[in-house]
Every structure is written in structure tokens, then in C-alpha cells.
Chain A
Amino acid sequence: MESTVESTVAIVTFRDIFQDEAGKKSKFADEFRTLAAQVLLDKQDMAKLGWKDGQKVMVKNDVGSVVVAARTSGDDPHPGLVWMTASPWSNQLLAEDYCAGEKPWAGITATLSPTEESVTQISEILQRMRA
């Protein structure tokens, strides 16, 4: 990952028991959003970008975009690779044919850039679907 403000990364999604528990109770609660709307970066990448835990970042690709909080993964080294939980937030970036059986999948390509915007709300995600 280059030491620039915007970074191109590959996103790999994962399951998180805390998010799953929160989602079973309510997908509309702050607890679920806080746990789901995150992107986890390698510690060195965070340092290079000059980001601190909680930095709001716009994650964007050809499919869509979301604003989430950047956090350190605690699982380094994985330069240029970031983790997001499988959730309505990561689904905004997921290509329709990601699982079409044509070719091996190597993560979601996207760019990260710092933003002053608020973390995307679940209501906004729903509005985008219905737009």
C-alpha cells in the first residue's frame, strides 16, 4: 500500500460473532452498525496512511460506496488487504457475479480515502436499494 491519502485495497469479508449476535437482536440498532460498518487494516498500513482507530473512510468501487470506521486488525502483516464483516455495508461493494462459478474470487477491489462524512446508516443503504 502506498503512503498516499487514497489507497487501493482488496477487501476480504469474514464472520464476526459479536456482529452476528447484534444482528440477530436488531439490524437497526447502533450496536449492529458499529460492529458492521468497519474496515480493518494492517497496523503498518494504518501508520503509513496516518490514520488513527476510528478514522472515517469512504470505501468505494465500481459497484458502490460506503462510509465506515477504519480500525487496526491486530492480525498483521496483511499489507494492502483489509477485512470487512459480511454485512449490508460490505454488500454495497460486492459485484453481482462474485459467486457465479466462473473464476476464483480474490476479494473486492476498492479504494479507501479519509472523509468527514458520517458512517453510512442502514436507512441510507435501504434507500439506495430502492432508488
Chain B
Amino acid sequence: MAICTGCSLLCEDIEATIKDGNITAVKNLCRKGNGHYQALKTDRTKPMIDGKEVALDAAVSKAVEILKNSKNPLLCGWSNMTMEAQAAGILLARKLGATICDTSPTCQEDLMERIMDGKIPTCTLDDVRNFADTSVFWGSDPSNSHPRHLSRFSYYPRGEKRQKSYEEERICVTVDVRKSATATLCSNYYFRQPPGGDAEFAEAVLAVLDGKIPKVGDKKRMIELGTLLRKTEYGVIFPGPGMLLALQGKMDLFEKLVAKLNEITKFKVLPMPEHCNTRGYYQLMREQTGFINGVSLRGGAPAHGPEQRLAAAAKSCDAVLAVGSDPLAELPLATARALTRANVPLIAIDPHRSLTTDAAKVVIPSAMSGLEAGGTALRMDGVKIAFEPLIKPGKPDLLSDEQILARIMEAI
């Protein structure tokens, strides 16, 4: 079986037929995974300096020169690559005294830290498949973001204690501003929220769990929801970006709600980062720097604070290395502008042409993790998934992210 690194589900049941070193047929991919596999043949990068194609060695040497001359480099990206490459990146950041950041919304870090600290209980996706009878998609829409979530884990499969599955034993609830594809599926328990209304919704759920009349929402439906949550044997909340944005600064309230649910029954929380190895990056960063993201490794102890956030670091750095992400496509305009300042050389390591590679002074092509390069990654639930390269890279000199970072490190 092959793996798909198209999202943080890291589906391991992909059946690929390979003939003469090429993938000729693939089964079990979702639409997003299909795009990921097709990307093997589309928009591949070439080594470039200032928009001109050069030899790979020249591009690597130029990157080394830029980083050597930098007094305050920023290394950003990291979430779409193996843990081995991420570890090589953290080593490089130490060597350079660089600031290291990923490009995920910072508001997901608070929840992730509470989960890693054990303040909020979590579980694996296998636990969800085997035991969950209520899945709450709060500000998340896996039908679009993680397309096989519902079929492999949270709604349709027949798990150990859920043999009657979605027909009788599983219920899904959605809490969202818009009636998403997932909300349409869970229409009996869809709770539409005004933008930013999630804190009031959390208060209302706490009220009904305490047997009080909620102050907001349709009271009858809120009481029905309270009854469902009380009857639940094993519930899981899947927070998405909508909820994390709306509850930023109010995560204590969410923690209180989860604690209340666990006084009554069993409820877990499983965040849904988008990129294939955001979880691995957070874990490695925490193990090696003490913080999950946004860390300066310039001398002494790792520093973490507002100045090390990507938005601020992008403005203060004097060179940028972007790898494992396309920050210019993902970040707000002001941060993207800061990363492309005229006097700040940008190095992009990427298998594909992106907004970042188009703006970069130096482009270093890399092998696609999971397809052309092996390694390990952490699924969204923290389960480690190891994978071998499925095929050899199309060009013999195409290196993995890990190999490129090791070469840069060696030269520095």
C-alpha cells in the first residue's frame, strides 16, 4: 500500500500500480489526493537564480552564500515535509541562529499546546472509528478539507463498538457560520452561528448541560443538543479554523466546556491541521526548543514571543528560506510583502512552482515527500506514519528536502 501526503489524514490504503518507474493507476484517492498525485507531473521546479535556470549545485551554493551572509535569517514553512527534514531544518536554524516558523494560523497553537500538555483530552482517529458515537465538527468541514475523514474514521465506518455505524450508532453535529458540505450531511444537528458567535454558543451548551435555559440560539434545539451530548458514550470534537479564529483568546472557555462534558461522559478533542505534517513539526519543535512554533534560536536559550511570530519575523529578517509550504499563497498581504522586500533575498525549496518560487531569488527543486521521498510524518492525531518512496524522482539529481537541508548545513 502507498500513502497519500495530500493532507494530515495521511491515508495509508492507497493502491498504486507502477510500471517502468511511473505510476500508471491509483485507487482510493480522494479528489484532493488525486490533485496531489497528479502534481507529480505538473509545474515541477528547476534550479534557478534570479529567474534563470542553473545547475543544482549552483543554486545550493547561492543559498549557502545568502544564509552565511545573513545576520537574522527566517526559516519558514515546514508543515508539508517529513519529520526527518523538519529535524534537519531545526538543526540548520540552530547553526544559523535563525527564527523558525510555520505558516499555519497562530490561533491553532493555543489548542494544540493544551492538548500536548494534557489539559484537553484527545484520542486517535482509530479510537474515533472504533468507539465514537457523536462527532462534533465545530468550524470544520472535513468533506472539503480532509475528504476521507468521514468515510475512514468519523461517520461511515463500522468500528469495533460501532458496527451499526451511521445508520444507527453514529451522529454528527456541525457548528458553523455556513452550511458546509459536512453540515448538509449532519443537517439534523446543524447549528448556524453568526461570525464570532462561537463563545456565546459554548456558553449556551454549558448552560444546557447544567440544566439551565440557554441565553442564545433556539432554546428547544439547544436543549435537544444537550440531551444528545448527555447520552453520548464517546464523543469527539473536531475543531476547525472557523472555531479557532472565533474563540481566539477564549480557549479557557472551550477547555471548561470539554471538562464539563467529561464530568458527564467521555469527550475528546482532535484538532484538524491542514498540511500533512503540521503535527510532526509542532511535536519536534516542542521537543527540541520547548515551544511548538515561532522560535528564535539566536544565541542562548530559544526565544518565543510576539517578535518571533511570522508576521513580525518577516519584517525584521534579512534573508528568508521557505521550505515545505507556499507562504506567499497562504499568508495575508502584509506578511507576504514583508517576505518579498527588495533587499531580503528569498530562497525557496519546493517540488512545485508556487507564488513563493516565482518571487524567490534562488529556487531549489525537491522530491515530493511520500511519493518520491520517504520518511515519517505525524497524522493529525499524532500517530506516526512511516513511508517509503513510491517511485524514484523523475530526475536523478532531484534531492529530498532532508538531503537539500543537509547539504546546506554541511556547506555552512
A residues at B contact (CB < 8 Å) = 10, 12, 14-18, 20-28, 63-64, 73, 75, 78, 81, 83, 86-88, 91-107, 122, 125-126, 128-131
Contacts and interface: CB of A to CB of B under 8 A. Distances in A.
Interface string B175-212: 00111100000000000001110110000000000000
A10 B39 contact: no
A122 B43 CA distance: 15
Interface stretch (B19-27, B46-54, B55-63, B351-359): B351-359
B317 to A, nearest CB: 16
B32 A102 contact: no
Contact of A27 (B106, B110, B309, B329): B329
B43 A28 contact: yes
Contacts of A129: 328, 333, 336-337, 340, 355, 359
Given A17-B30, A24-B35, A105-B195, 19 more contacts: A14-B141, A14-B180, A16-B144, A17-B31, A17-B147, A18-B31, A21-B34, A25-B38, A26-B352, A63-B334, A86-B241, A95-B332, A101-B248, A103-B249, A104-B196, A104-B199, A104-B247, A104-B250, A130-B337
Contacts of A106: 194-196, 246
B248 A96 contact: no
B246 A92 contact: no
A12 B242 CA distance: 9
B36 to A, nearest CB: 5
A108 B195 CA distance: 10
Contacts of A99: 105-107, 245, 248
B378 to A, nearest CB: 21
Is chain A's binding surface mostly helix, strand, loop or mixed? loop
A103 B248 contact: yes
A77 to B, nearest CB: 9
A106 B179 CA distance: 17
In the complex, the 5 A-B pairs of residues with the closest C-beta atoms, listed nearest first: A106-B196, A24-B35, A21-B35, A96-B334, A94-B332
Interface string B222-265: 00000000000000000001100111111000000000000000
Nearest to A13: B241
Contact of A105 (B248, B329, B335, B353): B248
Contacts of B330: 91
Interface of B: 6, 30-32, 34-36, 38-39, 42-43, 105-107, 110, 141, 143-145, 147, 177-180, 194-196, 198-199, 241-242, 245-250, 274, 309, 311, 326, 328-337, 340, 352-355, 358-359
Contacts of B39: 24-25
A33 to B, nearest CB: 12
Nearest to B143: A17
Nearest to A26: B43
Given A25-B39, A88-B355, A105 B31 contact: no
A122 B326 CA distance: 14
Contact of B333 (A15, A16, A64, A102): A64
Given A24-B6, A26-B42, A102-B248, A130 B359 contact: yes
A126 B332 contact: no
B140 to A, nearest CB: 9
Contacts of B352: 26
B310 to A, nearest CB: 10
B178 A83 contact: yes
